[in-house]
Amino acid sequence: MRTHTEQGLTLLETVIATALLALLLVAMYGLVGVGVREWVSFSGQTDVQQSPRVAAERVLAEVMQSKDAVVGAGGTSLGLVKVTVLAADTTAGAASFTVQDASPLLTGFLVSFLNLNSAETVTASAMAGTAVSATPVLSRAHRQGEVVRRGETTLSAAAAVGATSITVTYPFGVIPLGNNDTISIGGEGPFAVTGTANPFGITPALAQAHSAGDVVQPLGVVFQLTGTQLLRNGVVLADLLAVPAGRSFFNVPTTSLSAALAPGGTQLCVQSVAGFSVNDRIQVDRETYGTDQAVRPDGGTVVSINSGTNCLTLDHGLTTTRSVGTVVRVLAVEMNFLATQYNSAIGQTQTAAVTAKATLRNP
């Protein structure tokens, strides 16, 4: 007779092994639970940080497609000079042209083509989609990609602090502004326009005095911080909490020359260097243009700053003589704001500070 040796776990060993396995599973579940909670909390925090940036990116994307900008008193409003570009070459004598986006233009108002130091201005007599009819016909050829924008005008008489109306010139005999337009005057604005002829009413009243000849530019877009909301042309774009302490919602560091500059000068001595940083692209003077000639601003990149003398050193020299008082500004718009969001993962309302910056279009 043969015997068989039987091997296996006793009941006691089975109970002990089961208990150890249960403890191991409980420990693993706890670790997984902590990991999930941490991931959800991190995800919620990421949402808190990203949501404000979405609003900022929408604004700054428009800044990068704008030729000029003006920040209102207190830094709670921003007006943009919107531009488009030619979608195809045109020839001298052409009675129409096509642009990539016709929204910056208005039927019945002036349209300007900007190319290096030259300019041509016509009236947009009709628009159909991106096709624009020109009156009179174009006097010269223009290349695809050339900047096209609404034409500007100038003050025909000085305007004092507190004024609520302005008189402007009528380039080519065409009314340059329309009722409900928004404009900038020199470096001040945005202003809402009322009326269809001189004198045009403006709101709010002027906070600065302006001389005859100061440039008046139509603004295509106005962003306004009202209470806890950011509006774009009067329509709510985002809900916001507040502006960080010591900052303004919109900011374009601006100063003026305290000493005249000759062509080739690389050192700009200004009234204040507050807000200017190394590597900032800056602009000296504003762009203006008349019947046939564009006056382009000077500019460059800041390579060093002497805060003791309030002087900026640029990477290359200026091309034109600039007088005392000429405007100097950073060629960018900065946004600063706080945003709030409820993080359901941790049951808390969190606040994130957002600072974002974009450079104006400068072809």
List, for residues 157-198, the tens digit of each pLDDT value.
999 999 999 999 998 889 999 999 999 998 899 999 999 999
Query: Is residue 270 included in any domain, yes or no?
Result: yes
Please indicate, yes or no, whether residues 101 and 178 belong to a single structural domain of this protein. no
Q: Is the dihedral of CA 298, 300, 302, 303 positive or negative?
A: negative
Last residue of a domain, one of 124, 150, 176: 150
Residue 11 lies in a domain: no
- Give the residue numbers spanning the domain of 102: 82-150
| Same-domain status, 266 and 291 | yes
Please check whether residues 116 and 185 belong to one and the same domain.
Answer: no
Last residue of a domain, one of 91, 121, 150: 150
Tell whether 255 and 355 lie within a shared domain: yes
282 pLDDT above the threshold of 80: yes
Query: Which of 99, 115, 150 marks a domain boundary?
Result: 150
pLDDT in tens, 296-355: 788 899 999 999 999 999 999 888 889 999 999 999 999 998 876 666 777 777 777 778
Whether 263 is in a domain gets the answer yes
189 or 10, higher pLDDT: 189
Picking from 70, 75, 82, the residue whose alpha carbon sits closest to that of residue 221 is 82
Looking at the structure of the chain, the number of domains it has is 3
CA-based torsion, 127, 67, 75, 259: positive or negative:
negative
Question: Are 177 and 270 part of one and the same domain?
Answer: no
333: in domain = yes
CATH number at residue 279: 2.40.30
214 shares a domain with 127: no
